[in-house]
Amino acid sequence: MKTVRVIIFINLETNNMNNEFIPYKQALDLKELGFDEYCFFDYNNEGEITNVGIIPAPLHQQAFRWFREKYNTTHEILRKEDKNHREFIAWVYVENDKIEVVSYWNALTYEEAELACLKKLIEIIKNK
């Protein structure tokens, strides 16, 4: 029996999945911090999603779960709206020697707030 290996590349823009996986830059940062969880796909060195890459491409919920379990973090994103304005406000909480670090941002979309949370968590853990 002959084994055939199929390599899949996904164009996230045309497949409308670009918001499901964390961006390539943050995936590199997570790998540097020790993220080695199983992911459905990986990034290759060119930043493309594939099933045979070398950099795990976690979904957003996988990345946040990893931070929560490994570093005892949590985050919260709230939608704030009035007649003329809508924004999302995000907080990050990190337990660090019983000191709570709190940050927030104003974002126009939930995805912007979620990415801001992820970037802030990476920054906090890198500077720990």
| Domain-wise residue ranges, the chain | 1-58, 72-128
Instruction: State which fold the 72-128 domain adopts.
Output: Double Stranded RNA Binding Domain (3.30.160)
Q: Is 68 a residue whose pLDDT tops 70?
A: yes
Rounded to an integer, the average pLDDT of 63-82 is 89
Instruction: Return d(Cα 93, Cα 121) in angstroms, integer.
Output: 9
Band of residue 128 on the pLDDT scale cut at 50, 70, 90: confident
Query: Which among 21-35, 45-59, 106-120 has the top mean pLDDT?
Result: 21-35
The pTM assigned to this predicted structure is 0.80
- What pLDDT score does 85 carry? 75
Query: Is the Cα torsion angle 117, 123, 125, 128 positive or negative in sign?
Result: negative
- Name the more confident of 1 and 110: 110
Band of residue 5 on the pLDDT scale cut at 50, 70, 90: low
The two tokens of residue 57 are 């491409």
